[in-house]
Chains A and B, each alone.
Chain A
Amino acid sequence: MQHQELIPHLFRSEFSKITAVLCKLMGIEQLAAAEDIASETFLAAFENWPYSGIPPNPQAWLYTVAKNKAMNYLHRHALFNGKVLDHLVTFSPESTEPDIDLSDQNISDSQLQMLFAICHPAISTEAQIGLALRVLCGFGIEEIAYAFLTNKETISKRLFRAREKLRHENIPIEFPPDAEINSRLGTILTTLYLLFNEGYYSESRDIVLRNDLCLEAMRLTYLLVDNGLTESPPVYALLALMCFHSSRFAARQGQNGEMVLYDDQDESLWNAELISRGVYYLQKASQGNILTKYHLEAGIAYWHTQKADTIEKWESILQLHNHLLVLEYSPIAALNRTYALSKVKGKMAGITAAEELGLVNNPFYFTLLGELYSGIDNETARRHFKKALILANSNANKAIIQKKIDRFHK
């Protein structure tokens, strides 16, 4: 690999490790400094490698440079600001050299502890996702802005405020007490779930970036199941859900980057390895008697990995949606439940149930009604698709709906 390709690749995997370890060492109030040191380390690679060649062990090279830069930073601040020294709990009295431990174990512990710090209940969900992307996944400001369909200034401000909040609340970078782990995990799982969805359902046209978002969410979730303190049925359920969804990455993207709907997907492109990993994690999730929305959504996603339209499939999907809605209402679950109902009980029953939903500002509501009326009353179906077209908020969705309208003219 050439350095032009290698450095961005390493950046994605190593930036967050260096930041997490340094920030754990220096304290949450030094988060921005830790990020700066990690960035400068990569800048050094960009400056040196084209001349000196790629070092035999690029990762070790980066760690050495990061350690030196961190040491310089600490000395500088110890000289000019005695206060910083007080925060450096890892300084031992007889030595002024802090131990910067970049072992695998300390990296994954530091990243998990950072995850707990970032997903502190005091931080808004929006800020948690932004910080997680920046600090734990090594995404650039521009990439985050692109994923959220907003501009760099907005993201910079959001991250700045979030760092201020972390500093102000003086949130420690450590595992919470055992008794708190489960409740704190709830917030983390929400953030990782949203992070994954951001990639999976994003309107952004950058496919690579979207897949990266999903993969990073999976990597962080995997860190949780890989650690005895945080491994638990809900985490396995979330990981299973992510595996099932991501098994369709290749199939849901057409040759021109357009979205391929589930029914039109070539299932030979579904990733069998990810599906079987999902099944394994779902089995692990089923130990014990905890039932979360991740369990139910993973169950639904599992059934969607079975393409054949069996009554057992749609019965199961309907029952899982019933339970999901009892646990937590969402318009999308209500719409999907109604679609499953129509598969089990027929289109007329589906229409009756759909018309009770009354989601009159939701384009997918009218798409569903259009589907259900198709073949029963095509004029009404067309009218519903037209309403969906007016409400649709992305070009991708508009194109899909237009295709459905065009069918009636053939």
Chain B
Amino acid sequence: MKEFILIFRHEDGQKIASPEQIEVWMKQTMDWIGGIAAQNKFVMGNGLPMEEAMVVWHNNVVTNGPFGEIKETIGGYIIVKADNIEEAVEFAKGSPVLQGNGNSVEVRQIARDGKH
């Protein structure tokens, strides 16, 4: 079985939604992840808080950001086990992140032991 990373891109929820709304999204996210874990196909995952974020550029130039104000910001990821990219895409389709217009989940296979 292969491993795939599902990368969430969306705005910073803290800036556009109430704590109650965020709690609803958290529950939905846990229901989604719980469904994958119940199939023994969840490997790991993390949210990536948008405060205190920095970007390091060529020549060690360091800037603040990303600020999470655009929908291309990475907000988190999970790693799943799947037989193929199609199955991983089916998992991605269930992500509550996709409720937001313009948000996306990028699905990428993880290279293991130098093989793809």
Contacts and interface: CB of A to CB of B under 8 A. Distances in A.
A238 interface: no
Interface string A335-353: 0011001000000000001
A265 interface: no
A30 B45 CA distance: 49
A315 B23 CA distance: 13
Interface in A202-239: none
A325 interface: yes
Contacts, number: 44
A338 B33 contact: no
A326 interface: yes
A326 B39 CA distance: 11
B35 A329 contact: no
Contact of A337 (B27, B34, B42): B34
Contacts of B40: 329, 334
Nearest to B44: A326
A94 to B, nearest CB: 61
B31 A334 contact: no
A315 B27 CA distance: 9
Interface string B4-44: 00000000000000000000000100110111011110100
B37 to A, nearest CB: 4
Given A318-B31, A319-B27, A341-B31, A326 B38 contact: no
B16 to A, nearest CB: 24
Q: How large is the interface on B (under 10, 10 to 19, 20 to 34, 35 or more residues)?
A: 10 to 19
Nearest to B29: A322
A333 B40 CA distance: 11
B33 A326 contact: yes
Nearest to B32: A322
Given A319-B27, A334-B40, A326 B34 contact: yes
A279 to B, nearest CB: 24
A341 B40 CA distance: 17
From A319, A325, A334, residue with most partner B Cβ within 10 Å? A325
Q: How large is the interface on A (under 10, 10 to 19, 20 to 34, 35 or more residues)?
A: 10 to 19
A337 B30 contact: no
Chain A contact surface mostly: helix
Contact of B42 (A315, A321, A325, A357): A325
A312 interface: no
A323 interface: yes
Contacts of B35: 341, 353, 356
A358 B40 CA distance: 11
Contacts of B31: 318, 322, 341
Contacts of B39: 334, 356-358
Interface string A293-325: 000000000000000000000010011011101
A353 B37 CA distance: 11
Nearest to B39: A356
A176 to B, nearest CB: 30
A322 B45 CA distance: 13
Nearest to B90: A356
Nearest to A319: B30
From B30, B35, B39, B42, residue with most partner A Cβ within 10 Å? B35
Interface of B: 27, 30-31, 33-35, 37-40, 42, 45
10 contacts: A315-B27, A322-B34, A323-B30, A323-B34, A325-B38, A329-B42, A334-B37, A338-B38, A353-B35, A356-B35
Interface of A: 315, 318-319, 321-323, 325-326, 329, 333-334, 337-338, 341, 353, 356-358
State the 7 A-B residue pairs at the shortest beta-carbon distance, nearest first: A322-B34, A325-B37, A334-B38, A322-B30, A329-B40, A326-B37, A337-B38
Given A319-B27, A326-B33, 19 more contacts: A319-B30, A321-B34, A322-B30, A322-B31, A322-B33, A322-B34, A322-B37, A323-B34, A325-B34, A325-B42, A326-B42, A329-B40, A334-B39, A337-B34, A337-B38, A338-B38, A353-B38, A356-B35, A357-B38
